Structure 1
Amino acid sequence: MSNLQLGLAILGGLVLAAVVAYNAWVTRQSAPRTARERQVEAAEPEAPVAASDADDRIEPVLGDMPAATKPEAEPTLGAMVSAPEKRPGLDALIDVIAPLALEAEVSGDAVLAALPATRRVGSKPFAVEGQNETTGDWEAPRAGQRYRALQAGVQLANRSGALNDIEFSEYVVKTQAFADAIGAAPDFPDMRAEVSRARELDAFASGHDAQLGFTLRARRAAWSPGYVAQHAAKLGFVAGALPGRMVLPGSEAGQAPILSLAFDPQAAMADDPEQSALRELALSLEVTHVPRSEQPFVQMRQVAQALAEAMDGVITDDAGQPLSRDVMDQIGADLESLYDALDARDLSAGSAQARRLFS
């Protein structure tokens, strides 16, 4: 073999090796980032941040989060959040309520046996309550208790709309059948007045309902479900009841989650989730369900920024447009006005009445 042929053979081998190495690098860059990669990165020292970058970002103040939101261990995607909360009682602010006059004391067992099969009237919740003789509080009927006073109610409005004439008539029929079964006489309010009240309440609710959402999109490499879960857990999130959903718990037991984080449930349920590629996740806030005192929008901004920085993502709206600081500031100002309006109507965000109305 001549020197020229030998040189060409060596050059060809080097080119082939370079092509193979490049293809391997491209494959690695396009693969979803996994939880194991995150652990390796965590062991490496962080690169210094330029002063100009530090001035433009929102620093997450996670030390101020309630202790209940800080995880003691890594989450599992199938874990549940918390025990269901006690059902809130009827309230004249958002319910039609009919007192049921009893001929004699009635047992809780008899009341339970006479309850209608369904607890809905059209699209509205229906409920019967008895007054506890010891505490004087109204409660859902319980076996072993005895009641001298009962009442039946239906919700005036929810996200399905206002109580209408047909639903009110169904409520009357259902309540009368229950009353007949236990020997009670219902005293129904005027239908026209209650339907009018329902429409007014629905109009208020429609103008003051708010559900916010940020989308976090990967800039370059995709993420695996485990990679997302471990970063979210560092910020206090725990696994939700559904695959692909995590929540940031409130500071009190039974309170609605402050924030929800969701990604493709099919990726979470895959045979090998670490090979599933996620390119975006959704961060959402049910404004009317979370108390103002939790500062939920402040936490939402901090969490979004922290996740974007840690996972090399960008924060956008649903249409994919990046959200600037000015836009977020305006949203925060609008929310303060919304909170004021809800407070003035005795429907403060996070209250039992608000959560029922905006559901």
Structure 2
Amino acid sequence: MSTLQLSLAIIGGLVLALIVAYNTWTTRRNAPKRALPPDPELDRTGEPALRQEPGFDTGLTTGTPLTPEEFQELDRGREPTAAHVVDPTEALQMPVPAFSLERRPGLDPLIDVIAPLQAEHLVSGDAALAALPPTRRAGSKPFAIEGLNEATQQWETPAPGQRYQSFQAGVQLANRMGALNEIEYSEFVMKAQAFADAINAAPDFPDMLQEVARARELDQFAGDHDAQLAFMLRARQAAWSPGYVQQNAARLGFVAGAMPGRLVLPASAQGLPPILTLAYDTQAALADDLDQSAIRDVTLSLDVPQVNRAEQPFARLREIAVALCQGMDGVLCDQNGHPLPAMAMDPIATDLELLYDQLDGRELSAGSVLARRLFS
């Protein structure tokens, strides 16, 4: 073999090796990021186990305010408003003040039409349960019947072994499906009347036109104060695997939700709606090979009326969004995937405080039983 042929063979081999190396690097670079194996020396936040968690820091930088249109998209039926990026701060677990006492669960004249039903004789709980209608809705509105327990003198859903003589039937005035209308009111009357006939009770129904008008007014108030905010976090370069998203979210307190592709930040008390929701593609979450399942973006959202203001949900959303972007090499975007400029969130926080005050003034405080029923 001549010197020229040998040189060409060596050069060809080097070029082939470079091509293979480049293809390997590109494949690794574009593959979805995977979750790291757990380290027994580290706690759930990824920090040394002896590290003491710092407190919540609310010191946030002020910047250019949002336009009113960007925040005041509160009418039901619109897409959730996209929040904006803040200056980087560490997302921390914060202590939550104790919740104030609220109105009791069950029917409430503030958001329900209530019709008293007085039975001729004492009615057992078993008989009352047997007389209940098969469905608990009148149209799109929740419907309920309560009895005044003879022993405890408390209103409750009829229960076996108890005795009642006074009952009340109720239907919700409004929810996110709209206001109670005449057809739904008529269905409510029919259901309540059938129950009354079964237990030999005399119902006293309020005026339909007045109640429908009250429903429209409540629905208008709810529509003006129904805020749902959301971030989109998009990968800058390599996509994320579901395990990678779950691992980073778990460090900030998220746990698996009831549906695939849904993680939630639990409230401080059991039984309450989650503070925040982090969602990604359901098909990616159900893929056979989760390490190869690619996620390009996730959505971090807050349903404002469903969460008690004592949880400081908006401040936590801001910090968690920044922490996830930093930890996962992501960029904060609006609902259409357009990157958001760095600007302060203080104007939105101010508007939200006003919203909370208005809900409090209507006895529909965010996160309360009545607010959760109304904004559902």
Q: 2:90 aligns with which of 60, 65, 78?
A: 60
Deviation digits for residues 57-110 of structure 1 (CA, Å, limit 9, x no counterpart): 3323414256xxxxxxxxxxxxxxxxxxxx930010000000101101101100
Partner of 1:339: 356
Query: C-alpha separation between the residues in 1 aligned to 2:90 and 2:210?
Result: 50
Partner of 1:83: none
Q: Note the residue ranges of structure 2 that are not aligned, 5 or more in a row.
A: 40-45, 48-59, 62-85, 97-103
Q: Secondary structure at the match of 2:345?
A: helix
Q: Structure 1 63/177 Cα, relative in aligned 2: closer, same or farther at 3 Å?
A: closer
Give the alignment's TM-score, normalised by structure 1: 0.87
Residue 8 of structure 1 and its aligned partner are, at CA, apart by: 1.3
Q: Secondary structure at the match of 1:64?
A: coil
Query: C-alpha separation between the residues in 2 aligned to 1:323 and 1:137?
Result: 53
8 Å Cα contact 2:185-2:208 kept in structure 1? yes
Query: C-alpha separation between the residues in 2 aligned to 1:289 and 1:325?
Result: 28
Bigger mean CA offset, 131-140 vs 267-276: 131-140
Deviation digits for residues 222-260 of structure 1 (CA, Å, limit 9, x no counterpart): 000011001111100110110110100001111110000
Q: Structure 1 341/162 Cα, relative in aligned 2: closer, same or farther at 3 Å?
A: same
Partner of 1:74: none
Matched positions, count: 329
Partner of 1:149: 166
Query: C-alpha separation between the residues in 1 aligned to 2:93 and 2:147?
Result: 45
Seq. identity, %: 65
Partner of 1:107: 124
Partner of 1:81: none
Residue 325 of structure 1 and its aligned partner are, at CA, apart by: 4.5
Partner of 1:31: 31
Query: C-alpha separation between the residues in 1 aligned to 2:337 and 2:318?
Result: 17
Q: 1:292 aligns with which of 309, 316, 332?
A: 309
Q: Note the residue ranges of structure 1 that are not aligned, 5 or more in a row.
A: 44-53, 67-86
Q: 1:91 aligns with which of 101, 108, 113?
A: 108
Residue 182 of structure 1 and its aligned partner are, at CA, apart by: 0.6
Whichever residue aligns with residue 2 of structure 1, its letter is S
8 Å Cα contact 2:91-2:252 kept in structure 1? no
Whichever residue aligns with residue 153 of structure 2, its letter is G
Query: C-alpha separation between the residues in 2 aligned to 1:327 and 1:198?
Result: 38
Whichever residue aligns with residue 31 of structure 1, its letter is A
Q: 1:317 aligns with which of 334, 337, 352?
A: 334
Query: C-alpha separation between the residues in 2 aligned to 1:134 and 1:283?
Result: 48
Comparing both chains, which one has the higher relative contact order based on Cα–Cα distances under 8 Å and sequence gaps of 6 or more?
Answer: 2
8 Å Cα contact 1:124-1:155 kept in structure 2? yes
Q: Structure 1 133/58 Cα, relative in aligned 2: closer, same or farther at 3 Å?
A: farther
8 Å Cα contact 1:216-1:283 kept in structure 2? yes
Whichever residue aligns with residue 108 of structure 2, its letter is D
State yes or no: 1:245 paired with 2:262.
Answer: yes
Query: C-alpha separation between the residues in 2 aligned to 1:202 and 1:164?
Result: 11
8 Å Cα contact 1:38-1:227 kept in structure 2? no
State yes or no: 1:184 paired with 2:232.
Answer: no
Query: C-alpha separation between the residues in 2 aligned to 1:259 and 1:289?
Result: 10
The structure richer in helix per residue is 1
8 Å Cα contact 2:93-2:252 kept in structure 1? no
Residue 327 of structure 1 and its aligned partner are, at CA, apart by: 5.3
Whichever residue aligns with residue 152 of structure 2, its letter is T
Residue 36 of structure 1 and its aligned partner are, at CA, apart by: 3.0
Q: Secondary structure at the match of 1:111?
A: helix
Q: Secondary structure at the match of 2:169?
A: strand
Q: Spell out structure 1 runs of 4+ moving beyond 6 A.
A: none
Deviation digits for residues 184-206 of structure 1 (CA, Å, limit 9, x no counterpart): 00011111111110010011111
Residue 336 of structure 1 and its aligned partner are, at CA, apart by: 1.3
Partner of 1:3: 3
Residue 132 of structure 1 and its aligned partner are, at CA, apart by: 2.2
Root-mean-square deviation (Å): 2.1
8 Å Cα contact 2:87-2:344 kept in structure 1? no
Bigger mean CA offset, 156-165 vs 133-142: 133-142
Q: Structure 1 224/65 Cα, relative in aligned 2: closer, same or farther at 3 Å?
A: farther
Query: C-alpha separation between the residues in 1 aligned to 2:351 and 2:189?
Result: 41
State yes or no: 1:272 paired with 2:289.
Answer: yes
Bigger mean CA offset, 131-140 vs 264-273: 131-140
